[in-house]
Homo-oligomer: A and B are copies of this chain.
């Protein structure tokens, strides 16, 4: 099977376990853009058992928490599309009112030539914030 998320990580890995991984999505306009990718090949969320869906969403929400903490965005966008790569993955995108497409989705026609540049957040800080958010979820604390 020819699948880019089976053949490779899909980007620089920020965190991983035996079930899924969180990678940086290379993007000029969306510096904090991450993807949460299931390790094995599956197509739809409802192809997973309920406990697996929950586990993947926990990683998505931990990623959201980390990005909110480090980037303080105006909005978080979450999406699982997979029309081009039908291997379960979630886009987790910090959005800002002055970014290239806001308030449209990042896939729409751009309203500005580019997003303003923002301070780079180091991989180590992102990794640590994700680990911390996962630990808090597993402790059952409210968001």
User: Within 8 Å CB of A60, what residues of B?
Assistant: 45
* A71 to B: closest C-beta gap in Å: 13
Q: Is the CB of A46 within 8 A of B65?
A: yes
What's the tally of chain A residues with a CB closer than 8 Å to chain B? 40
Q: What is the chain B residue whose CB lies nearest that of A138?
A: B50
Residue pair A75, B83 in contact (C-beta under 8 Å):
yes
Q: Which residue of B lies closest to A54 (CB)?
A: B54
B76 engages A79 (CB within 8 Å): no
Which residues of the other chain, B, contact A46 by a CB distance below 8 angstroms?
Answer: 61, 64-65, 68, 76, 143
Are A44 and B76 in touch, CB under 8 angstroms? yes
Query: A44 with B57: in contact, given A86-B75, A140-B50 (CB under 8 Å)?
Result: no
